[in-house]
Structure 1
Amino acid sequence: MPDVSRDGAAAPLLPVGALVAGMVSIQCGAVLAKGLFPVVGATGVTVLRVGFSALILLAVWRPWRRSLRLRDAGAIALYGAALGCMNLLFYLSIRTLPLGPAVAIEFAGPLAVALSVSRRRVDFAWIGLAVLGLWLLLPVAGPGGLDPAGVAYALGAALAWALYIVFGQRAGRIDGGQAVSLGMLTAAIVVAPVGLAQAGTDLFAPQTLVLGFGVAILSSALPYSLEMVALRGLTRQVFGVLLSLEPAIAALAAAVVLGERLTPAQWLAVACIVAASVGITASGRRRAGAAPDP
């Protein structure tokens, strides 16, 4: 007779493990991408990641099988442009920033979107915690701070992430597979001129293409698939809370693979931003008062 209690306890482990594996995959992709910077630059790596991701998604979803209204095409174009800018600015930021702080600063984007509809007093505490974390990471926090240009790029990526969420909600009303595949194609078109101008023919070297394909798989295709598995077994609240751990996972991955060591103040900053993201995700879900996820 099967052990029902053991099966019940183990059931949530698969989606949780899938989501954590997806986050680890994304950060491993960022680590691999950083290793390609000396070869084709951050813009060249962006083209490889977004371009290969677009080809994979187009092959999977085949969006040409469905007609697309002009209004929907406009929504997808905005979504894709935000996606392309977000990837480009993030890779430009990690040229000079450690991976963990760059991801933490980028998280200001979704935090701002979540807090823009906030009306509860407790949410102002999360705002304060996020601001403290960002202040500890910014160059104004004192000597030994982060590179100002890298911080500016990371803040730009945060803004692009916020726009990606806003435009993605509009594009999400269209067929999901069509929206995400055409959105990624748009992102590739947006970043291609910049990357080709910098990298030139080096972008098409066989070894570079193989590594670029690996970045696309680790950063997009694999985590996207794993997140789909996680969403089937987790409520949106739990999914959002776990996703908030990504800056910490990025910092750990960079420390192990790249040897990037953060100062105690920078670890505290990452912890503040993670805590703010967890708090606003949890309180936002309660505020919505929605029925439990199926």
Structure 2
Amino acid sequence: MVSQYAGAAFAKHLFPLVGSEGVVALRVGLSALILLGWLRPWRTPPTRAELPTLLLYGVTLGCMNLLIYRAFALIPIGIAVAIEVTGPLALVLLSSRRPRDFGWLACAAFGLWLLLPLHAGAAQLDPKGIAYAFGAAACWALYIVFGKRASSVQGGGVVAWGMLAASLFIVPVGAYYAGPSLLAPSVLLGGLAVAVLSSALPYTLEMIALRRLPRRVFGIMVSSSPAVSALAGFAVLGERLGAIQWLAIALVMLASGASAWTGTRDA
């Protein structure tokens, strides 16, 4: 998470040059090349039956990246990720019938109410940025569903195949928006740094973690994403959040971590 959100914060410096779409194209496209060269997944190619799962995994991965980077361009990183993390949280809570989980749902809803411009004391946020973050939240939930299915694909090249599938439609979108400036040496170098920090390294580590860690531990660690991203936004970009915003982020993290803890413990 440190790698992913430090890379995302650095990526915002490239937005004025090629836009968020161009940065996502570089991130996904270069990550696909890095992972294909490193993992060489063609040595154990997926079966024809596994291709639809890998394609869905890649499409949700690409859409999640595109939407959250569009959100980053309009609202602070920490707030965007706090909204995005409600996707996997909703996935857990909506599949539960335990009474206490409705309490965690209320906790997350109250955190969102504090975070969003729904009351007089809330900070003003760009509505489009909020919408993009909620879109990324939905994609994150789908990414978990399809990623769990894809993790069973033989050969260990799941992330590489998924990133390749994502690049097939993300790279043309970025090229359309950014044009020839996407190939400027300084932009390519910055995009390579973002690709390594925000995609190639963290997604590979995530797949390893999913295989080795109990779901409860993994879920609790992922729940700290809003705080990690907010700190990265402050350290790299100087994005400062108010006390109410930090309280809102803490409530969303509490709901996410607690639901991961109680859900997997009961299971």
- What TM-score do the two structures reach when normalised by structure 1? 0.85
Aligned equivalents of 2:128, 2:2: Cα separation in 1: 26
What displacement does 1:229 show? 7.0
Task: Determine which of 166, 173, 176 is the counterpart of 1:187.
Answer: 166
Using a 3 Å threshold, how does the CA distance of structure 1 residues 160 and 225 change in structure 2: closer, same or farther?
Answer: closer
Which residue matches 2:140? Answer: 161
Aligned equivalents of 1:217, 1:226: Cα separation in 2: 12
Preserved contact between residue 45 and residue 155 of structure 2 (Cα < 8 Å): no
Identity across aligned pairs (percent)? 54
What does 1:137-176 align with in structure 2 at a 5 Å threshold?
137-142=115-120, 144-175=123-154
Preserved contact between residue 159 and residue 203 of structure 2 (Cα < 8 Å): no
Q: Bigger CA drift: 112-121 or 209-218?
A: 112-121
Residue type of the alignment partner of 2:217: V
Aligned equivalents of 1:271, 1:190: Cα separation in 2: 35
Aligned equivalents of 1:83, 1:226: Cα separation in 2: 15
Aligned equivalents of 1:273, 1:66: Cα separation in 2: 41
Segments of 5+ residues of structure 1 without an aligned counterpart are 1-22, 289-294
What does 1:258-277 align with in structure 2 at a 5 Å threshold?
258-277=237-256
Asked if residue 120 in structure 1 is aligned to residue 91 in structure 2, the reply is no
Asked if residue 61 in structure 1 is aligned to residue 39 in structure 2, the reply is yes
Q: Larger radius of gyration, structure 1 or 2?
A: 1
Q: Bigger CA drift: 49-58 or 173-182?
A: 173-182
Tell me the number of residue pairs that the alignment of Structure 1 and Structure 2 aligns.
Answer: 266
Residue type of the alignment partner of 1:96: L
Aligned equivalents of 1:228, 1:183: Cα separation in 2: 12
Which residue matches 1:131? Answer: 109
What does 1:102-117 align with in structure 2 at a 5 Å threshold?
102-117=80-95
- What TM-score do the two structures reach when normalised by structure 2? 0.93
SS of the residue aligned with 2:118?
Answer: helix
What displacement does 1:203 show? 0.5
Which residue matches 2:3? Answer: 25
Deviations 1:85-124 (A, max 9, x none): 0000000001111010100000011111111221211111
SS of the residue aligned with 2:156?
Answer: helix
Which residue matches 2:76? Answer: 98
SS of the residue aligned with 1:262?
Answer: coil
What does 1:82-93 align with in structure 2 at a 5 Å threshold?
82-93=60-71
What displacement does 1:271 show? 0.5
What displacement does 1:33 show? 0.6
SS of the residue aligned with 2:75?
Answer: coil
Deviations 1:14-34 (A, max 9, x none): xxxxxxxxx111111011111
Segments of 5+ residues of structure 2 without an aligned counterpart are none
What displacement does 1:187 show? 0.6
Residue type of the alignment partner of 1:158: A
Q: Bigger CA drift: 48-57 or 230-239?
A: 230-239
What does 1:252-263 align with in structure 2 at a 5 Å threshold?
252-263=231-242
Aligned equivalents of 1:233, 1:171: Cα separation in 2: 16
Q: RMSD of the alignment, in Å?
A: 1.8
Task: Determine which of 207, 221, 225 is the counterpart of 1:242.
Answer: 221
What displacement does 1:136 show? 1.7
Preserved contact between residue 139 and residue 147 of structure 1 (Cα < 8 Å): no
Residue type of the alignment partner of 2:84: E
SS of the residue aligned with 1:182?
Answer: helix
Aligned equivalents of 1:176, 1:282: Cα separation in 2: 31
What displacement does 1:268 show? 1.0
